[in-house]
A and B are shown apart, each in its own frame.
Chain A
């Protein structure tokens, strides 16, 4: 295994049974992602982008194949083991933000820190909120924030525990072009500051162009790696 690879994938296949018969969502995907790399997974709808992202983050299990995340064989772990690994090494940004509606902006950012038992959760979270320019909205609930602000809180939440790798699923999908641009800038700034590996699924060609590497999926197969 390449010692610089934070993520290594071998023979990753996912099949599901549907009313129309067996469906192959992902077929024998193999790839290496290096530390601090920024990678865009692109492709048409239904190409298997989100399936790949879910498997890489250990949110789902494959039909066959292996994924090593920071040297750990993901699927040799049970679900709780993968959860522990995510807590230590992984950050997420979602298309629909996925902020907890009953928590304020600050508390949402504190949550991953609290889950790892950090006692300085509030201080760290506040610093990151300041970094994304939302310190004045720290006491607001998600429904009191605009879409762009919610995504900034989500980014703060993802970067607060300083993850090794950050997965983003269509991070600008729900935002207008201008707000989306600001969010992309923020993602790449933090990626550079923290040396985090960035792995994102997107339809947005501007966003994909800013990544060092682009992986193109077509009908579950990896067609291009540029």
Chain B
């Protein structure tokens, strides 16, 4: 009989005897956790790849905040390329007495140059792909616009100063952009020839102009090279290669994060696998000695166990991949809508990754101990004392560690990311283990002062200190994830919202023309709404710092690059707003109102490396202005007032084209005010901060759900660690319990001991988890939300309770037959 055949038989026999259940379950959890994330991300990547051809609507897109110069179009046409123009901006549309923010895109006749537009003739009617644009006088709108405004195809809606007919429902079109927030605004496609009549585009309006180009690859590439060198700040060239809407970039970050969260489950599951392998090996020492005695060669025994592990691995990986495939539907439900695209079925790659992860986990953590089985001295059959094999723990740790590095690399697919994840994980494990050790020492100290009935249970925890610490770290990670997501997140969001006063501005008006400021103020007065402050806004590009030209490449951080290449909103003010504070330098006096001075927000100054006295040169609409930084300000962005990174004295920017912005509080009961305002001033855009906040909250909640979902596997893996730990000491416990019962201990006393042991272990893990979760919460609060968050006692209470009850119950369940077995039967087995 070959080692494979006998290996298969033995595998079946071990399985039937319940020897492999922990190994297999832990493996399934690891593989399912990684696979669920990988299937999901794979489908997103495939969707993006499938769409890349018509993602842009052309082969190359030139975009700018200013109208496309006629020469640019002429150059492109002369180079034999097709062109199409689009103008895009967020705006309000009206119908009867309701309004809706939309992402408006006006397109020229040739749009799109690549791909097609998907439209439907009525709400929920089947979609069709067309290669045309809305006719003059008509618009195509997303279904949300129709449902929000109570319209149907054929109805009219007001866009700025004109009424247009809704001719179709827009399903999607190439080159959807708009960023995280406006990306969620329903879309409106209209004919570019209708745009002037809407009067929505005014000087200094926030508008993105795009020129789509398509043609022969070499000609496109040549034009791209030429234009790339002439790009001004605020202008961009995008080719298919780097076409990735912002939303999908965010999604990719989410993918990486989910992948790494899954990795935590793999690490825990691997710990469970290693512990289960230990027990498997110690239980098979006798078997191996007998087989050696019966004539099995060392190599045969090694092959026998290797085959068993390989087959077990394949089974576990198969089941895990299948479970992961089913579980990914949960992620699709939570995160799918963010992608905004239909997800195609996954290819085989996640299956390969799942099997690789599973096999590395299993073999990395079981092979070193299992391969030592072949070395068992045959004499063990005659004298057990002679037959123990010294485990080579170092080899096991090194091989296991290498396996984990490999797993991290496989998941992160980026050495730098993998390295930082490993460092972070090591740090986390170290902190958790340290806390667990301190608590254990405290426990040991207090046990000596506890009554005899407590001692039996509690002494077990400190006696098996190493196991206890591993178990506590396992539970802590699971509990920490749970506490962070369920308690700390809610606390933080509540804290943040609680800070907003009742009359915090909840509406922003932008694109207000200078001539409209006074009429709008009068409109507010007649409507009995407090007239807010109107701030001027000049869109300008930072072109030089201390007379040296600025390019995005001058900055290392992504934010610095972005800030340097985009247009700034400059403003002016005689008096500083109340939610601003000077942190360096001084504000200007009345006599300095035309002086070349600037006040810069401190965070921006730090990002761009600016200091007091630096001279900044801005350019807007062909004019430039150079001024010196005379003060740095801190800004309370959480006030929801209109605020600016860069302010100038009142007279410095008067010659620049400006529009106005204001923020005000509108009670929900007076919502109709907005419609009356928009009917009179059609070109202004209203941002509903409350709506945007609700949207942000729903995004956060969806992402949290997805993360919680992935952390469910972490919790499962934590339970696996516990199960493996319980199992690894089970034989010892059974024997101890039998001896204790023989000596007269009642079942009740034994059970109390076990309940105490696990409840205290859970309680301690809960305390460790709450401490670390609270720390992470404070860090996030300070760094991201700029809040002073002090975790409440409820965090520790929740952690301790969940830990004590959850782990206590699971522990009792895992060891239930220790107290139920007859002592005589138990003692006879040993």
**Interface set of A (CB-CB < 8 Å, partner B):** 50, 53-54, 57, 59-60, 79-80, 83-88, 90, 92, 94, 98, 100-103, 107, 111-112, 114-119, 121, 141, 143, 147, 157, 169
CB of A143 within 8 A of CB of B379, answer no
In the complex the two chains form, is A143's CB within 8 Å of B290's CB? no
Q: Are B382 and A80 neighbours in the complex by a CB distance under 8 Å?
A: no
Check if A169 sits within 8 Å of B382, measured CB to CB: yes
A2 to B377: give the CA distance in the assembly, Å. Answer: 32
**Distance of A175 from chain B, by nearest CB (Å):** 12
CB distance from A3 to the nearest CB of B (A): 25
Given contacts A86-B295, A92-B294, A100-B287, contact A59 B1 (CB under 8 A): no
Q: Is the CB of A115 within 8 A of B287?
A: no
Check B829 against A83 for contact (C-beta < 8 Å).
Answer: no
Contacts of B2 in A (CB 8 A): 117
B300: A residues at CB distance < 8 A: 115
Q: A107-B13, A114-B6 are in contact. Are A80 and B297 (CB under 8 A)?
A: yes
Cα–Cα distance between A103 and B377 once the two chains are bound (Å): 21
With a cutoff of 8 Å between Cβ atoms, the chain B residues found around residue A88 in the complex are: 295
Q: Are A115 and B379 in contact (CB under 8 A)?
A: no
Do A50 and B382 have beta carbons less than 8 Å apart?
yes
Distance, CA A143 to CA B6, complexed state (A): 23
Cα distance A88–B295 when bound, in Å? 8
Closest 3 CB pairs of A and B: A87-B295, A102-B17, A80-B297
Question: Is B381's CB under 8 angstroms from A115's CB?
Answer: no
Q: Which of A53, A59, A103, A112 contacts B378 (CB 8 A)?
A: A59
B303: min CB distance to chain A, Å: 12
User: Known contacts A102-B14, A141-B17; is A115 also within 8 Å of B295 by CB?
Assistant: yes
List 19 A-B pairs, Cβ < 8 Å: A50-B382, A50-B383, A53-B382, A60-B378, A83-B297, A83-B298, A86-B294, A92-B381, A94-B382, A100-B290, A101-B283, A101-B286, A102-B14, A102-B16, A102-B17, A114-B1, A118-B1, A141-B17, A169-B382
Q: Is there an interface contact between B1 and A115, defined as CB atoms closer than 8 Å?
A: yes
| Residues from chain B with Cβ under 8 Å of A86 in the complex | 293-295
Closest-by-CB residue of B relative to A116 is B295
CB distance from B293 to the nearest CB of A (A): 6
B296 to A, closest residue via Cβ: A115
Sample of 18 more A-B contacts, CB < 8 Å, known A54-B379, A92-B293, A115-B294: A53-B382, A59-B378, A80-B298, A83-B292, A84-B297, A87-B295, A87-B296, A92-B381, A98-B381, A100-B290, A101-B286, A102-B17, A102-B19, A111-B290, A111-B294, A112-B294, A112-B295, A116-B1
B9 at interface (Cβ–Cβ under 8 A)? yes
Q: Contact check: which of B13, B294, B296 meets A103 at CB < 8 Å?
A: B13
Decide if A102 touches B13 in the complex (CB within 8 Å): yes
Given A59-B381, A98-B286, A102-B13, A115 and B291 contact (CB-CB distance below 8 Å): yes
Cβ–Cβ contact A117 & B1, under 8 A: yes
Neighbour of B295 across the interface among A84, A94, A103, CB < 8 A:
A84
Q: Is B667 an interface residue, CB under 8 A from the partner?
A: no
> Does B792 make an interface contact (CB < 8 A)?
no
Q: Does B299 contact A (CB under 8 A)?
A: yes
The CA of A94 and the CA of B378, in the complex, are separated in Å by 13
Give A29 to B239 CA distance when docked, in angstroms: 90
Structural contact, B383 and A114, CB atoms closer than 8 A: no
Are A111 and B291 in contact, CB atoms less than 8 angstroms apart?
Answer: yes
Docked Cα-Cα span, A103 to B19, in Å, equals 11
Within the assembled complex, what's the spacing in Å between the Cα atoms of A223 and B560?
95
Assembly CA distance A117 to B298 (angstroms): 16
**Smallest distance from the beta carbon of A103 to chain B beta carbons, Å?**
6
A115 to B292, CA, bound (A): 10
- Chain A positions within 8 Å of B296 at CB level: 83, 87, 115
Kindly provide the distance from the CB of B309 to the nearest chain A CB, expressed in whole angstroms: 16
Q: Within 8 Å CB of A121, what residues of B?
A: 1
Q: In the complex the two chains form, what is the Cα distance from A125 to B578 in whole Å?
A: 94
Complex CA distance for A54 and B386, rounded to whole angstroms: 12
**Chain B residues near A53 (CB, 8 Å)?**
382
Chain A positions within 8 Å of B14 at CB level? 102
| Complex CA–CA separation, A57 to B382 (angstroms) | 11
A54 surroundings in chain B (CB, below 8 A): 379, 382
Give the chain A neighbours of B292 by CB distance below 8 A.
83
Q: Complex formed: what's the CA distance from A89 to B318 in Å?
A: 43
Chain B 1-26 residues near chain A, CB threshold 8 A: 1-2, 6, 9, 13-14, 16-17, 19
Binary CB contact string for chain B from 600 to 619 against chain A (1 if under 8 A, 0 otherwise): 00000000000000000000
Closest to A110 in B: B9
In the complex the two chains form, what is the Cα distance from A121 to B6 in whole Å? 12
Q: Chain A: which residue is nearest B288 at the CB level?
A: A100
How far does the alpha carbon of A117 sit from the alpha carbon of B297 in the complex, in Å? Answer: 13
User: A196 to chain B: closest CB distance in Å?
Assistant: 16
A79, B295: Cα distance in complex, Å = 10
Bound together, the chains give a CA A59 to CA B287 distance in angstroms of 15
B13 neighbours in A (Cβ, 8 Å): 102-103, 107
Nearest B-chain residue to A157, judged by Cβ: B294
Complex CA gap A179/B6 in Å reads: 34
Closest residue of A by beta carbon distance from B829: A143
Report chain A residues within 8 Å CB of B286. 98, 100-101
Q: How long is the Cα–Cα vector from A19 to B290 in the complex, in angstroms?
A: 29
- Give the CA-CA distance A83 to B294 in the complex, in Å: 7
Residues of A within 8 A of B297 (CB): 80, 83-84
Kindly list chain A residues whose C-beta atoms are within 8 Å of the C-beta of B294.
Answer: 86-87, 92, 111-112, 115, 157
Partner of B381, one of A94, A101, A141: A94
The docked-state distance in angstroms from the alpha carbon of A101 to that of B284 is 9
Contacts of A50 in B (CB 8 A): 382-383
What CA separation (Å) do A43 and B355 show in the bound complex? 59
Q: Which residues of B contact A116 (CB under 8 A)?
A: 1, 295
| CB-contact partner of B17 in A59, A101, A117, A118, under 8 A | A101
* A102 contacts B287, C-beta separation under 8 Å: yes
Determine the chain B residues whose CB is within 8 A of the CB of A169 once the complex forms. Answer: 382
A114 to B9, CA, bound (A): 10
Q: Would you call A115 and B382 a contact (CB within 8 A)?
A: no
The answer for the CA separation of A100 and B2 in the assembled complex, in Å, is 20
Contact check: which of B379, B825, B829 meets A59 at CB < 8 Å?
B379
Which residues of B have CB within 8 Å of A80?
297-299
Distance between B369 CB and nearest chain A CB, rounded to angstroms: 18
Could you tell me the distance between the alpha carbons of A159 and B2 in the complex, rounded to whole angstroms?
22
Complex CA distance for A57 and B289, rounded to whole angstroms: 13
In the complex the two chains form, what is the Cα distance from A115 to B287 in whole Å? Answer: 13
CA distance A92 to B299 in the complex (A): 22
* A84→B378 CA distance, assembly (Å): 13
Most buried by B among A92, A115, A116, A169: A115
Please name all residues of chain A whose beta carbon is closer than 8 Å to the beta carbon of B381 when the two chains form the complex: 59, 92, 94, 98
- Name the residue in B289, B295, B829 with the highest tally of chain A Cβ atoms < 10 Å from its Cβ: B295
User: How far, in whole Å, are A169 and B384 apart by their CA atoms in the complex?
Assistant: 14
Closest to B826 in A: A143
Q: How far is it, in angstroms, between the C-alpha of A98 and the C-alpha of B287 when the chains are bound?
A: 8
Q: B295 near A59 (CB under 8 angstroms)?
A: no
Nearest CB in chain B to that of A201: its residue: B382
Complex Cα spacing A189 to B1, Å: 30
Q: Which of B17, B298, B382 contacts A79 (CB 8 A)?
A: B298
In the complex, what residues of B have CB within 8 A of residue A101's CB? 17, 283, 286-287
